[in-house]
Amino acid sequence: MTLRSSGAAQVKNSEVAWGEFDPIAYVDHNYRDLQAEDAEILHIVRDHFAGHFRNQGVGPVSGIDVGAGANLYPALSMMPWCDEVTLFERSSANVRYLKRQLDSYDPNWDQFWDVLCENEEYGSFLVDPRLQFRKVVKVVKGNIFDLERFGGSLRSVGTMFFVAESMTSSCREFTLGVKRFMRALAPGAPFAAAFMEHSKGYYTGKKFFPACDVGESEVRASLEPFASDLDVYRLKTEPKLRSGYSGMILSCGRRGNSDVAVPIR
Ligand SMILES: C[S@@+](CC[C@H](N)C(=O)[O-])C[C@H]1O[C@@H](n2cnc3c(N)ncnc32)[C@H](O)[C@@H]1O
């Protein structure tokens, strides 16, 4: 991900050719090898989900990863408790990538599963993760702004990694994207959402994609109306391999019981 010159005009989500997203270049750059930032995220998210589901006594639940792109680790983090995980994604190229992963996902994802398994709730999951992935994961092409209309029941666990701020340069669309994600979750559902901090946009292959410049306060403000037990962390790991942003922000919490009305800026 590379810095672009400042002063660029605002780019809305609908103006971007998402079909030109190159999942192979994206995986090569970001997820071929486990980066320290993702390891830090995995530690926090796995302990959050494991802590929630431990002693819950509920049967299998349904989960959703919004804007899944070419990243399987959010789905892996929800998988042990789910009989269905929807990977909801707008780009046809990413949808094709995800569908290709269903039968037997690529070996690079094993290192992410291994970090999850350091927590005993994952480590004691006896089913082969590839079998479980094939059994429970469904890939759905769709637009986050239509998520409410996409329908189905509300999900009991959810993730959204590097999407709301990395799909538009409009702050209004960023806030709306977070709202649509949170409204797809049932009251009490645990969630994790990750954000690039102060991103200037990014390249995937040769194609540039826009971003909305957010920091911890914007992330907190966007989630707070819909969340309870909200934690917002700035990762300790400083950006190394990737560039064009100042750090990463991770938020974990539960879907609140009611929405506090906030105007979408
Ligand atoms: C920076 S990538 C993040 C991908 C992945 N979640 C990750 O953790 O690496 C942003 C993703 O958002 C998807 N996206 C963009 N606009 C979207 C929309 N309106 N609805 C759903 N997904 C969208 C893109 O296709 C892309 O996969």
Over the stretch 43-52, which tens digit does the pLDDT of each residue have?
A: 999 999 999 9
Q: What is the pLDDT of residue 261?
A: 56
Q: How far is the CA of 20 from the centre of ligand 1 (A)?
A: 12
Pocket of ligand 1 contains residue 91 by CB under 6 Å: yes
Alpha helices by DSSP H, 20-153: 23-30, 36-53, 73-78, 92-102, 110-116, 120-123, 129-136, 147-150
| Encoded amino acid at 190, one letter | P
Alpha carbons within 13 A on the beta-carbon side of 218: 24
Pocket of ligand 1 contains residue 71 by CB under 6 Å: yes
Is the predicted pLDDT of residue 258 greater than 90, yes or no? no
Return the CA Rg of the chain: 17
Q: Which two tokens stand for residue 68?
A: 């899944």
Domain 16-255: assigned CATH number: 3.40.50.150
The whole-angstrom separation of Cα 219 and Cα 212 is 11
Q: What is the pLDDT of residue 4?
A: 43
Quick check: 207 and 11 in contact, CB under 8 A?
no
Pocket of ligand 1 contains residue 68 by CB under 6 Å: yes
Is the predicted pLDDT of residue 253 greater than 60, yes or no? yes
167, 179, 250: residue to mutate for ligand 1 pocket, most atoms within 8 A of CB: 167
The whole-angstrom separation of Cα 196 and Cα 141 is 23
Quick check: 167 and 202 in contact, CB under 8 A?
no
Q: How far is the CA of 143 from the centre of ligand 1 (A)?
A: 10
Q: Model confidence at 5, in pLDDT bands (50, 70, 90)?
A: very low
Pocket of ligand 1 contains residue 174 by CB under 6 Å: no
Q: What is the pLDDT of residue 86?
A: 97
Is the predicted pLDDT of residue 29 greater than 80, yes or no? yes
Write out the E strands in 213-261.
Answer: 227-234, 247-255
Pocket of ligand 1 contains residue 167 by CB under 6 Å: yes
The whole-angstrom separation of Cα 7 and Cα 44 is 35
197 sits in which H/E element: strand 190-197
Is the predicted pLDDT of residue 262 greater than 60, yes or no? no
Pocket of ligand 1 contains residue 119 by CB under 6 Å: no
Quick one: which of 159, 157, 171 has its CA closest to 13? 171
Alpha helices by DSSP H, the chain: 23-30, 36-53, 73-78, 92-102, 110-116, 120-123, 129-136, 147-150, 171-182, 216-223
Closest ligand 1 atom number to CA of residue 88: 21
Is the predicted pLDDT of residue 214 greater than 50, yes or no? yes
